[in-house]
Structure formats: C-alpha cells, structure tokens
Structure 1
C-alpha cells in the first residue's frame, strides 16, 4: 500500500497500490498511520509521492460502488480524516505529484504545504462534476485558498482536468519539473524551508493554515451525510455506473 523512504530528516510516503494508486479504505488508513508514525519518529518534513506517471487516480469508484450506504459513509469519513491528518500535520508536507492526479488525488495535494508536479502530458483537477459527484464546501475551500475564489468556481463547476502548465499558471501547483525529478525538487523545497529558524517558521505556518485546521478540527461536524445523499442520487449513480463500465472495458 505504501513505501516509506527516509531522506535524512524527511520521510517520503509513497503511495503504492497498483495499478493507479486508487484510494480505498485500507490505503487511506495506511496513509494516516504513516503520517503519524513519521512525526513520532522525528521527521521534520514529509513528502507524499506516487508512482512515476500516476500520483493517484482518485477514489476507487468500482470498489465504492459495491458498498451500501453505511459502507459509502465509512469511506468518505475516512477520506476526510486523511485530509484532516494532512491539514493538521505539525511539520511541512510536500505533494510530489508524479503524474496524473484527478479528483481524490488532487484533493489530497491541496492539504499539503507545497505542490511539485511532473511536466508533460499529466492532468490534475477536481473533476467530480464530470462523474456526477458534488464537491462539498469543505473541499471547495481547500481549492479556493490555493487558486482564489473565482478560479476555483470555474474549475469546480466545469469539473476541469488541466494539464501541468495550466496547473502552474493557475497556482494549482507551485513548481514543475521532469517526472523523474519530482521527489528531488520536493526535497529541495523542504530542505530550504527546514533551514529557516524552526520556531518562527512553524508558528507562522500554523497561523497561515488556520482556515484548514479549523475547518477540519472535527471531521464528524462536516456534512458527510449530505455528501453521501448526493452520492446516491439517481443521476449520480447512473453516471458512476457508466464510468465503472468504461473502466472494465479498459481492463
């Protein structure tokens, strides 16, 4: 599910669920445990990476579609807990976006401090609308704080997947580099940040991220049931079933 790599004071958490790092309950729980473990073991910074060419394809929709309402709610609660774990990480976290990053993969990156993406034919975005899902405000705000309110509105309503150059131009990501250099560039940014006076840097970071940490202070206060209701909307279910059918044809 995960590969953990130590880079001196930095721990790299690499998503490793072939073939596309699709997010399911086990992977989300493993990610939360790895974040906590890295901090416990003294990591001063964390890199979240994926496979070359694919950061994460987002939610494992085929698996999620087999679940009843309780199972779907359990999944989304775990997803928001993973977002909360990234939001509340006491050390800087860089998303090393090593390739495509639609939907859930893009969302996880928004909760990191900095985003380095692979140059090339890779796409990122919150394409929930295109697959019939409603992006709740607690996810929309994570995008708004990165790209601004109007740009977030346009991207979210269209469910747009944008290429790496567009992602840099809109501020969705902070840096681009070759696909084989994404982790190296992420480490470079982290090491520069960690070279700053730690007390001042960490205290300033905590203040700057108050909007995220306050929104995700209590995951059970988030509108999970409203989101699950929307998941089971007839139109959403029809769109998701079409998506699963297309994915099965590719296998």
Structure 2
C-alpha cells in the first residue's frame, strides 16, 4: 500500500495516512485505507486502532480536488460512494478507535476523524472543520448524522451551516474532540485510551458498540444513494466548479 502505513503497537493498530504532506483523498487512498481497516477488523491479535497522519501539518486536507475535478460524473459518483462506505466501515469497526489529529483535519479529513470513537487533537495552530458549503457542495448526511450523535444538533448546525474552521480548544469546548494534548504526547495518549478499552472482552465490546452505531448506520444507508446523487450534482454545478478551481490553489 502506497498511501497508508500500518504499525502494530502491542495489539493497537496505528494507521498512518501517508499520501504526501496533505493526505488528499483519492481512489487509491480510499482503497488502501479500506484494505487496512479490513485487516484490523479480521486480525484477532489487534484489539483497537488509532488513525493519525505521518506528518504533523495535515491530518488530511480532504478530497483531492485537483485530481477529482477532471472526473466525469460516473467516475466521481463511484468514488464518493466508495468514500462513504469506507467511512461507515471505520464507524462500525467492532473495536475501539481513536483519531490522533496531529494536523489540520479539513472536510473529508474531518469526516474520517468523526468516524472514530474518540478524537484527540494536538495543541497549536491546527484547524478542524467541514467547509463544504463554502465550496458550493453539501456536507454529506453521514458526517452530519454522526456529528449530531457526538455533540448534538446545535453544534452540528454551527459547524455545517457556516463552513468555518475551529482551533483545538474550540472543538474541545464544543464536545467534538475528547482531549487536546501536546504534540509529543498525542499519539501515546490516544494509544493508551483505546488499548485500555481493547483489553475488555472483545465480543462484549463489539455488541456494546453495535448498540450505539447500528441505528445511525441504518439511517445513513437509507439515504446514501440520494445523498450521493445530491453531492455529485452540486459538485458539477457551475458555482461549485468555480469555487473548487479556486480552492485548488491550496493544494
């Protein structure tokens, strides 16, 4: 795998996003991360997982706009569907998960973090947010539904309506992340959290987690086809194309 690294730290799978300095999300990235998540699911020696970045600048900048902008509707729709299914796989993984957010988590990168059971963020000038509306596209139903579960509807409204980015202290105050640590402590604290839970009886934990995630998963699946269609149509609108091409300068 070229874009994702997997390290077994005494039963904790440390999954490092490793696609350049900004970890833009493209089909190869989705395929590699899906494969790693399946490995974590099936490996009985792995009790838990931490998702992080191989660099401390970007957790992920989100979708790889410069690559995806040239896709036709069929190609793009397939990619968006695959990304949603990957997110569901992370969200429903029957083992404890944490995102160690050591860099900016933007749009799709923010969504990956929301799909984990816990989110820990490093101190400093890091930003977290869902800015899709500012680019002329919708925030998909999946992250909105999961964010509602995590932090409630008012926080969800604030984050998805305005499309703003927030520093670590603010998202901690909002209840979106579970802790903020010094950069040198972030990974250790994240590993410790999931390792402790991973030492509990695995089948019992899986059942407890399913009780929390199954209703949300069903809600997302019911709306998925329609939601993807809406996202694709907005992506190909003139307004979004103009805004996306302007945003490409950030890549």
| TM band (smaller chain) | over 0.9
The answer as to 2:49 corresponding to 1:46 is yes
Q: Distance in 2 between matches of 1:214 and 1:70?
A: 25
2: distance between equivalents of 1:138 and 1:35? 18
Distance in 2 of aligned mates of 1:26 and 1:157: 30
Match of residue 31 from structure 2: 29
Q: Quote the Cα distance in structure 2 between the aligned partners of 1:179 and 1:123.
A: 14
| 2:250 is the counterpart of 1:247 | yes
Q: Which residue of 2 aligns with 1:158?
A: 162
> 1:120 aligned to 2:114?
no
Matching of residues 59-70 of structure 1 within 5 Å: 59-70=63-74
**What residue number does 1:134 align with?**
138
SS in 2 for 1:120: coil
User: Residue 78 of structure 1: CA displacement?
Assistant: 1.4
Secondary structure class of the residue paired with 2:38: helix
Q: Distance in 2 between matches of 1:127 and 1:79?
A: 17
- Residue of structure 1 in register with 2:184 after alignment: 180
For these two proteins, the number of residue pairs brought into alignment is 247
Q: Residue 147 of structure 2 is aligned with which of 125, 143, 158? A: 143
CA deviation after TM superposition for structure 1 residue 192, in Å: 1.9
Shift of 1:92: 1.3
TM-score (norm 2): 0.92
The two structures, once aligned, show a CA RMSD in angstroms of 1.7
**Contact kept? 2:47, 2:199, Cα under 8 Å:** no
1:172 and 1:155 map into 2 onto residues whose CA distance is 10
Alignment match of 2:112 (pick from 103, 108, 113):
108
Structure 2: which 5+ runs fail to align? none
Which residue matches 1:79? Answer: 83
The TM-score normalised by the length of structure 1 is: 0.92
